Amino acid sequence: MTRDRAVLIPALTNIATRLRIDSIRSTSEAGSGHPTTCCSAADLIAALFFAEMRFDPKEPHNPGSDRFVLSKGHAAPILYSAWAEAGAFDRSELLTLRRIDSDLEGHPTPRLPFVDVATGSLGQGICAAIGTALNARRIASPYRTYVMLGDGESAEGSVWEAANVAAQDGLDSLCGITDVNALGQSRPTMWQHDMEQFARRWRAFGWHAIVIDGHDMNAILDAFAEAKQTKGQPTMILARTIKGKGVSFTEGKEGWHGRAFKKGEELDRALAELDKQFVPAPAGVDLAAEIPKPPAAPAPAAAAKPFPAPSYKLGEEVATREAYGTALAKLAAVDARVVALDADVKNSTFSDRFEKVAPERFYQNFIAEQVMVGAAMGLAARGAIPFPSTFACFLSRAADFIRMAAISNVGIKMAGSHAGVSIGEDGPSQMALEDLAMCRAEPNITVLYPSDAVCAEWLVEAMATHPGPAYMRTSRPKTPVIYKNDEAFPIGGLKVVRSSSADVATVVGAGVTLFEALKAYDLLKADGIAIRVVDLYSLQPIDKDGLIAAARATGGNLITVEDHYPAGGIGDAVAEAVAEAGFVVRRLAVREIPRSGKPDELLDRFGISATHIVAAVRAVSAGRPVGAAR
Amino acid sequence: MTRDRAVLIPALTNIATRLRIDSIRSTSEAGSGHPTTCCSAADLIAALFFAEMRFDPKEPHNPGSDRFVLSKGHAAPILYSAWAEAGAFDRSELLTLRRIDSDLEGHPTPRLPFVDVATGSLGQGICAAIGTALNARRIASPYRTYVMLGDGESAEGSVWEAANVAAQDGLDSLCGITDVNALGQSRPTMWQHDMEQFARRWRAFGWHAIVIDGHDMNAILDAFAEAKQTKGQPTMILARTIKGKGVSFTEGKEGWHGRAFKKGEELDRALAELDKQFVPAPAGVDLAAEIPKPPAAPAPAAAAKPFPAPSYKLGEEVATREAYGTALAKLAAVDARVVALDADVKNSTFSDRFEKVAPERFYQNFIAEQVMVGAAMGLAARGAIPFPSTFACFLSRAADFIRMAAISNVGIKMAGSHAGVSIGEDGPSQMALEDLAMCRAEPNITVLYPSDAVCAEWLVEAMATHPGPAYMRTSRPKTPVIYKNDEAFPIGGLKVVRSSSADVATVVGAGVTLFEALKAYDLLKADGIAIRVVDLYSLQPIDKDGLIAAARATGGNLITVEDHYPAGGIGDAVAEAVAEAGFVVRRLAVREIPRSGKPDELLDRFGISATHIVAAVRAVSAGRPVGAAR
């Protein structure tokens, strides 16, 4: 790759012009898209791809390649144009943009091999970039991570969570570029072209900030060089740009944000203007990126040893959150890909047990759940197996990240502790009562909910090896161990923990409510009434056949009981699973905003204790509606 | 209220000691809680409540009262102690802390009249405080808003969203206090006692920042005075404090975060130390807060005029998002309490129509959804009727705020546009497919989903007057007007839009899928098959009787079709409603991560078009499972 600026700059300038043309052409062909935000970024992207990054266009997954995350995902057309320009695919494919038969989607997704994580929800790409940068450290690779943000995007709080964490971790392999084009979707941005507003913020957050004219190729190249020289802190290049740059009638104009040029006169005018911007350039300049060499010692792609079986005694009282921490620490020892992320609750989720075993793979995000999940996305995209964990209710802080992780189909392994009213006195702000709904809503998230420590440990191991995103809900109270240490818990299964040929109903629970169901079993048994009790440790996928079989064997009387609000939880999951077979479900769930109190008081007050299960069983087996049980 | 420091300071010092004692006593009695984080804040709280704020302890809802939001909600015991000290209730009640029969919950909730919004999920109180400060402007009241944060809390991105918005809006009636006690839950905080780290961030974000020793009463009083003098920008008082201050064996010590003193020796030692910290003080000092006078002209508590009926023609094509904007603008004109909040998408959600009518009640948050919803919470708590709106998928960015709004039961009226795959080419990152699940998960959120413009307008009016939080989902594509302008749409109702005595199935849709159902109706009719079509415009509450009646009249064949993932949406809502009557539901929903494409292509590809409905009707009426239809 040439470094002679006199040769380089005209060549890069012409690439930038081609990227503008390709972005405009492809969006016009699609009839929608954001060409003007591509035009502001074109010089930056040209310099980054053709004079700065080391990568292999034919092998985007090369583990030594520099990473680029387009945090301002609506500039997707220029990303695609740059990869086409680099030779990753034929330029003619650009005209399939946004078509149902094309992977060149409206916003980038990992359907494309050169996209690590889906972007398009602003403020997330920079969090994922922290993950890819942490991964370079994990595998001792010299690759660098570049991330481009919009100026409007900088209003998202997650950007500042990322800023803190990257500075705290001294991520000098991370280089941000903010394309300050001064125009948002509906109006000028908060600070428009007041570059000092940006610079003082990034500097205050501990970054090296460089303010440049984002259309001055020399300045761009200098900034990238300065970033690479900057040690001990990440760099943010703040580039003053013009939205719509290169097309006079859109430059700096409002009203062009999400608008393609109309085919015909409008498009032709734009292209004619751009055509005139090609400059004389020496022929035969080599702008192909340097292809990184494969690492001397490839990072392990599998666990070194099998996961050690749990070692509990039946009846021993252990909280599933504690078993989670124990299992995570064991995973740390057997699988170098496993990493853990915390948001200052490691002593409550028990992820501190992982930190003790593998402190170098334990990433502290302080109280910032968005960057915790976002960094996990970036880590997962680069081959790590990340376990971000916090209180389950605070995972909802990262709900939009979880949504994008599902779109990305990256293997983040989330754990949420302190589920439901059973946490007790801390009150509703600390109780997760919608986490199952949040995670089940995404069709590709595996949702697990262990009731005892043995199950919790095996499910942690299963999450690590099962592909794709996963969520495990753990509980605060201690519960007795009910399974033998070698019991198997396949994802998508369930356990029938009580059954007889005389069962009048099936009660499905998980977590603390399984033990309420077992108490109800004993109470009813004393009255000569038998029930089947099911431990639904896997909510998604769900054992449809197992549930239907239980329903058939117990007179079609199915009762679910969950420490969760009714919508989207166990009741809904079971109801959909058995609907096809014609069965309905009677649901016990928390049906109003709860309050502080003792765990047992709350289980009873909010309708999910053994007493309520007994009443529900009596009602359904007598053909009465369950409502009376509440 | 005395201003003589020589008299004031010993009196405040003794109050601070009493607040520490009360916080420790009440948490020990409860057996849990966070006494040491109360101890760090005690001097600040004493000065704030007894030398700074104007309020009426007997009438916390006095519209002229200064507001205090405890953003670090785990310090609840000192909040309760301060209100008891002020005379709001008897000090003896403090010992009911965290009991099921007490409103003194583990973290503050508006069950208590002096709490505006629930806190306990960090980083939210400061967003709500922006709302109460904006409200002062709305009602032209001189009241001030104070908000206390923790230093650990400052890692939350929402804090920096709030910082930007408050500075942008020049909210000089807002005064933040950060209790920098240097210890988080599980470890020291990111910046510990490096006060410059805090100061440079707040200054960079445009705030006036004052660094003080948070145990120096003179410095605290000076800082409050300086804040009040500061015009044009909000003030942040950064107070260096000691966690556990006042009890030597906890001062600055790790391991005491969420831990009450054990009754007996441990508690006795702590109390004995604190007892010695009372200082000689002149008797008879008046520390009662100044009670604000009622405003000369009270803010309106009702709409001035009735909402003007919509004026559409049957068959006219209007997107429900556009009708939302039209209705919002009409509301602006008739009800001074109505305000609107945007996150830079006003031209897509059509909330810009409100801005044109009432720019002074339109609050721009730029691309920062958390502070948008958080500010709405504060506004709602003070009598405004706030409508925050953005793309429905980006409301998930504020999922944890929505959760806390439900706990607070504040009347925020959310609208989310661009629902589902029917948005088309922009792709999955912009498609809301879990928003109904997110909002239905909260038991007290009203969830509405209009299909045509007439319904959308009337539902906007209904949201404004219906108490509590509400969510309305709007769609991107234009759909025909099917209702007369004077049709009534009560919350909790549904519309049967096609029916006959020969219907073989009921198809329940909403939004774009209602029109797919109507297409299916026509296709089936051509084959001599009649179906009932239901418009489920109110998902929560839901018309259980109406759905059961439709199921009964159509052979028990109920089909739902929704532009949403299956979990937590229309299918689940209908299934639970009819379960009691023994009916099951066959669901058509988006069952995998979608992609870019044309709206109609996507409806068909992901199984929710008229074609799929026709197949499902044929299957259920023939007794076959619906699975075959997908």
What contacts B254, CB < 8 A, 6 or more positions away? B183, B187, B188
CB contacts of B184 in chain A (<8 Å) are 344, 366-367
B365 neighbors B371 (Cβ within 8 angstroms): yes
What contacts A395, CB < 8 A, 6 or more positions away? A369, A373, A402, A414, A416, A432, A435, A438, A471
CB-nearest to A441 from B105, B345, B434 is B434
What contacts B40, CB < 8 A, 6 or more positions away? B179, B181, B214, B241, B242, B243, B244, B245
Q: Per-residue pLDDT tens for A249-270? A: 999 999 999 999 999 999 999 9
Cα(A339)–Cα(B117) distance, rounded to whole angstroms? 37
Residue closest to B174 by CA, chosen among B211, B137, B205, B201: B137
Q: Is A192 on the interface with B (CB under 8 A)?
A: no
What average pLDDT is seen over chain A? 96
Q: Per-residue pLDDT tens for B361-378? A: 999 999 999 999 999 999
The CA distances from residue A232 to A64, A113, A129, A204, in Å, are 21, 31, 17, 15
* Least reliable range by pLDDT among A23-37, A216-230, B291-305, B446-460: B291-305
CB contact under 8 A, B591 and A161: no
Residue closest to A608 by CA, chosen among A594, A625, A622: A594
Residue given tokens 């109110």 in the structure block: B538
The CA distances from residue A286 to A8, A78, A585, B541, in Å, are 9, 21, 67, 66
Question: A317-319 and A478-480 as β-strands: parallel, antiparallel, unpaired?
Answer: antiparallel
CB contact under 8 A, A584 and B587: no
- pLDDT for B214 equals 98
Q: Best interface-test mutation with A: which of B70, B71, B153, B186 has the largest number of A CBs within 10 A?
A: B186
Compute the Cα dihedral for B171, B173, B174, B177 and give only its sign.
positive
A519 neighbors A469 (Cβ within 8 angstroms): no
Q: Look at residue A625 and tell me whether its pLDDT is greater than 80.
A: no
- The helix/strand/coil state of B287 is coil
CB-nearest to B161 from A155, A200, A342 is A155
Q: Please tell me the distance in Å from B284's CA to the nearest CA on chain A.
A: 38
DSSP symbols for A5-20: HHHHHHHHHHHHHHHH
- pLDDT for B293 equals 87
Residue closest to B135 by CA, chosen among B296, B299, B292: B299
Q: Per-residue pLDDT tens for B540-588? A: 999 999 999 999 999 999 999 999 999 999 999 999 999 999 999 999 9
Q: Please tell me the distance in Å from B584's CA to the nearest CA on chain A.
A: 5
- pLDDT for B628 equals 38
DSSP state of B628: G
DSSP symbols for B35-50: HHHHHHHHHHHHHHHH
CB contact under 8 A, B394 and A430: no
CB contact under 8 A, A580 and B626: yes
Residue closest to A609 by CA, chosen among A518, A538, A480: A518
Question: A235-240 and B145-150 as β-strands: parallel, antiparallel, unpaired?
Answer: unpaired
Q: Please tell me the distance in Å from A406's CA to the nearest CA on chain B.
A: 8
CB-nearest to A429 from B107, B427, B591 is B107
- The helix/strand/coil state of B402 is helix
Span A139-143, average pLDDT: 95
Q: Is B168 on the interface with A (CB under 8 A)?
A: yes
Q: List the catalytic residues of B.
A: 369
Q: Best interface-test mutation with A: which of B347, B394, B425, B602 has the largest number of A CBs within 10 A?
A: B425
A382 neighbors A135 (Cβ within 8 angstroms): yes
Cα(A1)–Cα(A10) distance, rounded to whole angstroms? 14
Catalytic residue among A85, A105, A369, A434: A369
The CA distances from residue B120 to A476, B75, B90, in Å, are 18, 9, 24
What contacts B316, CB < 8 A, 6 or more positions away? B453, B480, B481
Nearest CA in chain A to B568: A568
Cα(B230)–Cα(B134) distance, rounded to whole angstroms? 17
Question: B338-342 and B385-391 as β-strands: parallel, antiparallel, unpaired?
Answer: parallel
Cα(B507)–Cα(B499) distance, rounded to whole angstroms? 11
CB-nearest to A30 from B184, B425, B442 is B425
Q: Is A598 on the interface with B (CB under 8 A)?
A: yes
Token readout for A620 is 């359904």
Interface of A with B in 332-361 (CB under 8 A): 342, 344-348, 352
Q: Is A140 on the interface with B (CB under 8 A)?
A: no
HSE (CB half, 13 Å, CA atoms) of A535?
Answer: 22
Q: Please tell me the distance in Å from B534's CA to the nearest CA on chain A.
A: 20
Interface of B with A in 547-576 (CB under 8 A): 565-568, 571-573, 575-576
- The helix/strand/coil state of A471 is strand
Q: Look at residue A182 and tell me whether its pLDDT is greater than 70.
A: yes
Residue closest to A204 by CA, chosen among B198, B161, B152, B157: B198
Span A372-388, average pLDDT: 98
Q: Looking at the DSSP assignment, which residues form a beta bridge with residue A68?
A: A146
Give the predicted TM-score (pTM) of the model: 0.98
Beta-carbon count within 10 A of A294 CB: 10
CB contact under 8 A, B567 and A565: no
B58 neighbors B87 (Cβ within 8 angstroms): yes
Q: Please tell me the distance in Å from A304's CA to the nearest CA on chain B.
A: 31
Cα(B602)–Cα(B433) distance, rounded to whole angstroms? 13
CB-nearest to B185 from A201, A344, A605 is A344
Residue A485, amino acid = N
CB-nearest to B366 from A107, A190, A348 is A190
- pLDDT for A468 equals 97
What average pLDDT is seen over chain B? 96
Q: Which residue has the higher pLDDT, A354 or B300?
A: A354
Cα(A454)–Cα(A465) distance, rounded to whole angstroms? 17
DSSP symbols for B85-129: HHTSS-GGGGGGTT-TT-S--SS--TTSTT-SS---STT-HHHHH
- pLDDT for B625 equals 67
Token readout for A571 is 């009741």
A149 neighbors A71 (Cβ within 8 angstroms): yes
Nearest CA in chain A to B580: A625
How far is the first Cα of chain B from the last one, in angstroms, to the nearest whole number? 73
Residue A393, amino acid = C
Q: Is B410 on the interface with A (CB under 8 A)?
A: no
- pLDDT for A370 equals 98
ipTM: 0.97
CB contacts of B109 in chain A (<8 Å) are 427-429, 595
Q: What is the Rg, in whole angstroms, of the alpha carbon atoms belonging to chain A?
A: 28
Q: Best interface-test mutation with B: which of A233, A395, A426 has the largest number of B CBs within 10 A?
A: A426
CB contacts of A399 in chain B (<8 Å) are 396-397, 399-400, 438
- pLDDT for A629 equals 34
Q: Is A502 on the interface with B (CB under 8 A)?
A: no
Q: Look at residue A180 and tell me whether its pLDDT is greater than 70.
A: yes
CB-nearest to A596 from B106, B203, B540 is B106
CB contacts of A111 in chain B (<8 Å) are 595
CB contacts of B164 in chain A (<8 Å) are 155, 190
Q: Please tell me the distance in Å from A19's CA to the nearest CA on chain B.
A: 20
Cα(B396)–Cα(B370) distance, rounded to whole angstroms? 9
CB contact under 8 A, A345 and B168: no
Residue closest to A138 by CA, chosen among A392, A344, A337: A337
Hey, which bits of A457-547 come out as E strands?
A: 470-473, 478-480, 495-498, 506-509, 532-535, 538-540
CB contact under 8 A, B573 and A591: no
CB-nearest to A426 from B107, B348, B440 is B107
Q: Please tell me the distance in Å from A98's CA to the nearest CA on chain B.
A: 5
Residue closest to A337 by CA, chosen among A389, A302, A306: A302
Span B201-224, average pLDDT: 98
Interface of A with B in 31-60 (CB under 8 A): 31-33
CB-nearest to A428 from B109, B365, B427 is B109
Coarse DSSP helix, strand, coil percentages of chain B, rounded to the nearest 5 percent: 45, 15, 45
Please, what's the b/e burial string for A529-544 (b: 16 or more CB within 10 A of its CB; e: otherwise)? bbbbbbbbbbbbebbb
Hey, which bits of B174-275 come out as E strands?
A: 174-180, 208-213, 235-240
A419 neighbors A474 (Cβ within 8 angstroms): yes
CB contact under 8 A, B121 and A429: yes
Q: Please tell me the distance in Å from B89's CA to the nearest CA on chain A.
A: 19
Q: Is B407 on the interface with A (CB under 8 A)?
A: yes
Compute the Cα dihedral for B559, B563, B564, B570 and give only its sign.
negative
Interface of B with A in 219-248 (CB under 8 A): none
Q: How confident is the model at residue B198 (pLDDT cuts 50, 70, 90)?
A: very high
**Three-state SS string across B424-484, please?**
CCCCHHHCECCHHHHHHCCCCCEEECCCCHHHHHHHHHHHHHCCCCEEEECCCCEEECCCC
- pLDDT for B273 equals 98
- pLDDT for A286 equals 86
Cα(A568)–Cα(B373) distance, rounded to whole angstroms? 23
Span A391-405, average pLDDT: 98
Q: Is B630 on the interface with A (CB under 8 A)?
A: no
Q: Per-residue pLDDT tens for A462-482? A: 999 999 999 999 999 999 999
Span B265-287, average pLDDT: 94
Q: Is B159 on the interface with A (CB under 8 A)?
A: yes
